[in-house]
A = this chain, B = another copy of it.
Amino acid sequence: MSKKIVIIGAVAAGPKAACRLKRLRPDWEVTMVDQDSLISYGGCGIPYYVSGDVSDESELRATSFHVVRDAAFFEHSKGVLVRTRTRALAIDRKAKTVRVENMDSGAQEDLPYDQLMLATGARPFELPIPGADLDGVFTISDLHKAIEIKKRIAQGKVSRAVVIGGGAIGIEMAEAFTDLWGVETTLLELQPQLLPRLVDRHFATMLKQHLVDKGVAVHTGESAEVLIEGDPGQVGSVRTGKRTLAADLVVMAVGVRPRSELARAAGLDVAPFGGIKVNQRLQTSDANIYAAGDCIALTHLLTGKDTHTPLGSLANREGRIVADNMAGRPALFHGVLGSFIMKAFERCIASTGLTLEAARVEGFDADCALTAPADRAHFFPDQAVVILQLVFDRRSRRVLGLQAFGMMNDSISARVDAAAALIAKGGTVEDFGLLEMAYAPPFSSAIDSINAAAYVAENLCDDRLRQVELARFLQWMEDMDSEPDWAVLDLRHPVEAAPYVDKFGADRWTALEYGQVRARHGELSPDKTYILMCNAGPRSYEVQVFLDHLGTVDTLVLCGGMNVISRLGVDWYIR
């Protein structure tokens, strides 16, 4: 028996569900409504459209075979009916109808449904600050805004931009402005770090330093307080608590909020943060109403808590699950780890699972293995250092997360995606040590970076490796008197160590090359705690184990070593 399906929202989850459903149930009538005229676009591609990497906005709305996905395409190729410029006003759950309004004609109508899908997405949060309504102030809410921003830049109307918000979209927009268009760009983030909650502080710091190296002015712990008019009606500058920044263009990218008003008004369960509550079949509290995409609350696979993970990739997967369940083919969506990746100029940063900070907040006995190996065989020409951090629970030895910062290529995808696969299956540090990464020198090391990180985690769990946390070490470098007995023991080549010995004095920065330790350890002081320093960490660990065996000298390993330090932009680092 044919059924009527209505889908509200036609960007990602909606179209995916509609098309899958028409394949599963070709005789059902599937109607999508969307208030926009442009639908089914790759919103995540907006920064690349603005930057010029994607030359025309229609490419974001086209199939891989270069046909634009407009209403006619859905009707003729997919058999899906589409009403654009049509707003859903209310759901009558009893009558099973949706009241919609044509935004051009103003005509209203009740669309009957057997099953309804809410794919209403999320809207950018707009800072309630003076001047937010000035011309030249944008959120990245849809393609129209992106088209307008690009037009202004291309017309030479933008020489200075301020991006408010140091999340992924803000950073991508800052890169787009700076890199291709040479717009003088400032990035503001209210939190003390970029990518808050997505990565731990030191990863954010490495990213910030790279942005600064590439010409973006970055101010963390600082946000816009007032947007000031320049030309009449136009934004002219941005005032923060600390400075005033001239700006022809302001982008607000301070996060998004689920669009759940319709669901709430219809009496459906909504999480406190606004995400529509769904079960594993993605049904709302009304079994005839499904929801998917940026408007829902998802379960975090590690914490079991509600989380908001607005990503086009998840929206598509969820859309397929909705279609399966609507069609009577049971399918479950278990939850998310929050895998995240982004390009930032010549670097890539990614994470999956929990950060160390989040894991501790959640009550795990969390620790982390911070490593800095080569991203492929260290003798292979294109190799480069990657910073990798495995977060794990010391008690259960379960891996909770992985973060990575390295060169802009796909090597970080490989580690983060494999990690996500294994974390979702409850993988332990031992599982990660055995993870069978495909090996050849152009792609990986014989001991892959992810295996190596797991080995460090094992050594930490077994209390064979004692580390000083990076933040504590950096604090000490700012105030060495805070631990008067500490000294760095630099195990690198004497040529590498010498400038630091000169700068800090041999008492605070002692040089003893790795290969000499077994012969010359007698020179070390039994009254000190040596912070062991090498480039990546393994030499330091080896020396710690050796000195522990002798039992005369106290040490702590700085995991990740100079490879991490050199990326943090600390002022005492000697380039």
> Could you list which residues of chain A lie within 8 angstroms of chain B, going by C-beta atoms?
12, 16, 19, 23-24, 26-27, 42, 44-45, 48, 53-54, 59-60, 62-65, 67, 73, 76-79, 168, 311-317, 320, 329, 331, 333-334, 336-337, 339-343, 348, 350, 352, 373-374, 377-381, 408-411, 413-422, 424-425, 427, 430, 433-444, 446-448, 451, 455, 462, 464, 492-493, 514-519, 534-536, 539, 541-542, 545-546, 549
Contact = CB atoms under 8 A, between A and B. Distances in A.
Given A42-B441, A42-B446, A446-B312, A436 B337 contact: yes
A161 B59 CA distance: 47
Given A444-B413, A464-B23, A519-B76, A53 B438 contact: no
A505 B493 CA distance: 73
A54 B519 contact: no
Given A379-B54, A409-B409, A438 B340 contact: yes
Q: 10 closest A-B pairs (Cβ-Cβ)?
A: A313-B439, A410-B410, A341-B438, A26-B549, A421-B421, A339-B438, A413-B414, A414-B414, A64-B378, A425-B425
22 contacts: A42-B441, A44-B441, A48-B442, A53-B381, A62-B379, A73-B515, A77-B517, A77-B542, A313-B444, A337-B436, A341-B438, A343-B440, A410-B413, A413-B444, A414-B414, A414-B417, A416-B438, A417-B417, A420-B438, A421-B425, A424-B435, A425-B425
Number of copies: 2
Given A514-B77, A549-B26, A440 B44 contact: yes
A443 B344 CA distance: 12
A441 B48 contact: yes
Chain A contact surface mostly = mixed
A333 B78 CA distance: 50
B433 A79 contact: no
Contact of A45 (B26, B380, B492, B493): B380
A343 B441 CA distance: 9
Contacts of A27: 549
B410 A414 contact: yes
Given A44-B439, A438-B420, A379 B340 contact: no
B546 A79 contact: yes
A442 B412 CA distance: 12
Contact of A411 (B23, B313, B379, B413): B413
B339 A436 contact: yes
Contacts of A12: 446
Contacts of A42: 377, 379, 441, 446
Nearest to A385: B64
Contacts of A439: 44, 311-313, 339, 341
